[in-house]
Chains A and B, each alone.
Chain A
Amino acid sequence: MTEEQKSKKPTKNAAEKKIEPEKKSTPEKKKPAEKKDEVEKKILLVSSSPHLTDTSTSRRVMYEVVIGLVPAVVMAVYLFRIQSLIVLLSCLVGCVGTEWLFNVVRKKEQTALDGSAIVTALILGLSLPPTLPYWMAIVGSVVAIAIAKMVFGGLGANIFNPAMVGRAFLMACFGLFMTTWTLPVPEMAEQQVQAEAMELQLDTEVAAVTQPTPLALAKQAIKDAHKEDQADKVTPERVEAEIVSLFWGQTSGSLGETSAFCWLIGGIFLLVRRTITVHVPLAVLGSALVFATIAWFVNPDVYPEPMVHLCSGGLMMCAFFIATDPVTCPLSKLGRVVFGIGVGALVMLIRLKGGYPEGVMYAVLLMNSMTPLLDRWTRPRTLGGSVAKR
Chain B
Amino acid sequence: MAVSTSEKVKGGFTFRRGVHPPHRKSFSESRAIEQIQLPAGSEVVVPLSQHIGAPCSATVEAKQQVVVGQEVGSSDAFVSAPVHSPVNGTVKEIAPLPHPSGRKVLSVVITVGDEQPEPSIWRELPENCTIDSLENTTSEQIVDTIRQAGIVGQGGAAFPTAVKLVQNQQKPVDTILLNGCECEPYLTSDQRLMIEAAGPMLLGLQLAVKAAGAQKGIIAIEDNKPDAINTVFKLIKDIDNLQLAICRTKYPQGGERQLINAVLGRVVPTGGLPLDVGVVVINAGTASAIAWACIEKRPCYERIVTVTGAGIKNPGNFRVPVGMMLSDLLEHCGGLTDDAEKVLLGGPMMGPAAARLDLPILKGTSGITVLSKAEVVENKEVACIRCGRCVDHCPLNLVPTRIAHAVKARDLETAEDYDLAACIECGCCTYVCPSKIPLIQYLRSGKSMIARKKQQVKSK
> A387 at interface (Cβ–Cβ under 8 A)?
yes
Taking a contact as CB atoms under 8 Å apart, the answer to whether A39 and B330 are in contact is yes
Q: Which of A295-339 contact B (CB under 8 A)?
A: 326-333, 336
> A47 at interface (Cβ–Cβ under 8 A)?
yes
Known: A38-B335, A39-B357. A58 touches B397 (CB 8 A): no
- Least CB distance, B413 to chain A, in whole angstroms: 9
Taking a contact as CB atoms under 8 Å apart, the answer to whether B419 and A114 are in contact is no
> A199 at interface (Cβ–Cβ under 8 A)?
no
Please name the residue on chain A nearest to B258 by beta carbon. A383
Taking a contact as CB atoms under 8 Å apart, the answer to whether A5 and B396 are in contact is no
Count how many pairs of residues, one from A and one from B, have CB atoms less than 8 Å apart in the complex.
234
Which of B69-77, B81-89, B174-182, B424-432 lies at the interface with chain A? B424-432
Known: A53-B431, A332-B399. A384 touches B257 (CB 8 A): yes
**Given the complex of chains A and B, what is the CA–CA distance between A334 and B408 in angstroms?**
26
Most chain B CB atoms below 10 A, which of A42, A114, A333: A42
Interface size on A, residues (CB 8 A): 69
> A20 at interface (Cβ–Cβ under 8 A)?
yes
Taking a contact as CB atoms under 8 Å apart, the answer to whether A19 and B441 are in contact is yes
> B388 at interface (Cβ–Cβ under 8 A)?
yes
Known: A39-B335, A52-B22, A380-B399. A44 touches B408 (CB 8 A): no
Quick one: CB contact mask for A6-36 with B, threshold 8 Å, 1 for yes? 0000110111101110110010001100110
**Given the complex of chains A and B, what is the CA–CA distance between A382 and B21 in angstroms?**
23
Known: A13-B381, A384-B269. A50 touches B430 (CB 8 A): yes
Taking a contact as CB atoms under 8 Å apart, the answer to whether A156 and B384 are in contact is yes
Chain A residues, CB < 8 A from B344: 49, 51
Partner of B376, one of A13, A45, A116, A382: A45
**Given the complex of chains A and B, what is the CA–CA distance between A380 and B435 in angstroms?**
22
Taking a contact as CB atoms under 8 Å apart, the answer to whether A387 and B349 are in contact is no
Q: Which of A339-390 contact B (CB under 8 A)?
A: 375, 379-388
Mostly helix, strand, loop or mixed at chain B's interface?
Answer: loop
- Least CB distance, B438 to chain A, in whole angstroms: 5
Chain A residues, CB < 8 A from B21: 50, 52
Taking a contact as CB atoms under 8 Å apart, the answer to whether A20 and B445 are in contact is yes
Chain B residues, CB < 8 A from A57: 379, 382, 434-436
Chain A residues, CB < 8 A from B352: 48-49
Taking a contact as CB atoms under 8 Å apart, the answer to whether A331 and B336 are in contact is no
Taking a contact as CB atoms under 8 Å apart, the answer to whether B383 and A388 are in contact is no
Partner of A45, one of B327, B353, B358, B385: B353
Taking a contact as CB atoms under 8 Å apart, the answer to whether B438 and A13 are in contact is yes
Please name the residue on chain A nearest to B413 by beta carbon. A388
Partner of A382, one of B327, B377, B398: B398
- Least CB distance, A272 to chain B, in whole angstroms: 16
Chain A residues, CB < 8 A from B448: 22
Interface size on B, residues (CB 8 A): 84
Taking a contact as CB atoms under 8 Å apart, the answer to whether A384 and B440 are in contact is no
Taking a contact as CB atoms under 8 Å apart, the answer to whether A156 and B385 are in contact is yes
> A139 at interface (Cβ–Cβ under 8 A)?
no
Taking a contact as CB atoms under 8 Å apart, the answer to whether A383 and B381 are in contact is no
Q: Which of B181-199 contact A (CB under 8 A)?
A: 185
Chain A residues, CB < 8 A from B408: 15, 18-19
**Given the complex of chains A and B, what is the CA–CA distance between A23 and B386 in angstroms?**
28
**Given the complex of chains A and B, what is the CA–CA distance between A42 and B441 in angstroms?**
26
**Given the complex of chains A and B, what is the CA–CA distance between A277 and B166 in angstroms?**
47
> A241 at interface (Cβ–Cβ under 8 A)?
no
Chain B residues, CB < 8 A from A173: none
Taking a contact as CB atoms under 8 Å apart, the answer to whether A50 and B349 are in contact is yes
> B155 at interface (Cβ–Cβ under 8 A)?
no
Taking a contact as CB atoms under 8 Å apart, the answer to whether A49 and B348 are in contact is yes
Chain B residues, CB < 8 A from A40: 327, 357-358
Chain A residues, CB < 8 A from B377: 52-53
Known: A56-B434, A326-B388, A380-B399. A15 touches B383 (CB 8 A): no
Taking a contact as CB atoms under 8 Å apart, the answer to whether A331 and B401 are in contact is yes
Please name the residue on chain B nearest to A19 by beta carbon. B445
Chain A residues, CB < 8 A from B376: 45, 51
Please name the residue on chain B nearest to A329 by beta carbon. B386
Chain A residues, CB < 8 A from B399: 331-332, 379-380
> A1 at interface (Cβ–Cβ under 8 A)?
yes
Taking a contact as CB atoms under 8 Å apart, the answer to whether B327 and A50 are in contact is no
Taking a contact as CB atoms under 8 Å apart, the answer to whether A42 and B340 are in contact is yes
Please name the residue on chain B nearest to A30 by beta carbon. B355
Please name the residue on chain A nearest to B267 by beta carbon. A384
- Least CB distance, A203 to chain B, in whole angstroms: 50
Taking a contact as CB atoms under 8 Å apart, the answer to whether A14 and B434 are in contact is no
Partner of A383, one of B257, B327, B357: B257
Q: Can you pick out 26 interface pairs between chain A and chain B where the beta carbons lie within 8 Å of each other?
A: A5-B382, A15-B381, A15-B437, A19-B408, A19-B441, A19-B445, A20-B444, A34-B356, A37-B327, A38-B336, A39-B327, A44-B343, A49-B440, A51-B348, A51-B371, A52-B185, A53-B431, A56-B434, A58-B434, A111-B382, A116-B385, A383-B257, A383-B270, A387-B419, A388-B417, A388-B418
In the A-B complex, the 10 residue pairs with the smallest Cβ-Cβ separation, listed nearest first, are A50-B427, A384-B270, A156-B383, A51-B348, A15-B441, A326-B387, A331-B388, A382-B419, A380-B397, A50-B349
Contacts A47-B342, A59-B382, A387-B419 supplied; 17 other A-B pairs, CB < 8 Å: A40-B358, A47-B353, A49-B353, A50-B427, A51-B344, A51-B353, A52-B185, A53-B432, A54-B19, A58-B435, A156-B435, A157-B383, A380-B399, A383-B257, A384-B396, A387-B271, A388-B419
